[in-house]
Amino acid sequence: MAKYLQVAEDLASFIRADYLVRNQITDSLLKSYSGNQLHPFAHDMAFQVAFCYHIGFGMQSDLTECKEWLQKANRKLSDLQVERDTVHERDWNNDRMTQAFSDGLPYQLNLIHG
């Protein structure tokens, strides 16, 4: 069985991509979820969408949408902190990300805007 996309694990690579690529990644997650809601990984895909809304990856950050996707994933806001903690600032050579972490991620990124 193929592993689903985990945004936090690959964020260091994704952040260097053009915003259109990041947008395509999020669109793919949304389409994958809508076509596979009964798939064993559906809750995990929904959580990845929630994470994207949480940090503004490929879309505007939106707490309301984030919470709706968390509900679909049967997860809590506190789970997003755990996911965020999988992203290691030291692995990134990116001033924008370093600043976002020091300012307090989430709600600081909105990565769709480049």
Task: Encode pLDDT of 3-62 as tens digits.
Answer: 567 787 777 777 777 888 888 889 988 988 888 888 888 899 999 999 999 988 888 889
2 in any annotated domain: no
pLDDT tens, residue by residue, 98-107: 555 555 544 4
Asked whether residue 1 is assigned to any structural domain, the reply reads no
Sign of CA dihedral 64, 65, 71, 75: negative
- Give every CB contact of residue 21 below 8 A, 6+ residues apart in sequence: 14
Closest by alpha carbon to 44, among 79, 78, 86, 87? 79
pLDDT tens-digit series, residues 50-93: 999 998 888 888 999 999 999 999 999 999 988 887 775 545 55
pTM of the model: 0.74
Range of the domain at 99: 7-113
In a domain, residue 108? The reply is yes
The CA distance from 4 to 18, in Å, is 22
Instruction: Select the more confidently predicted residue: 95 or 11.
Output: 11
Q: How many domains does the chain have?
A: 1
Report the distance separating Cα 32 and Cα 44, nearest Å.
Answer: 11
Is position 94 within any domain? yes
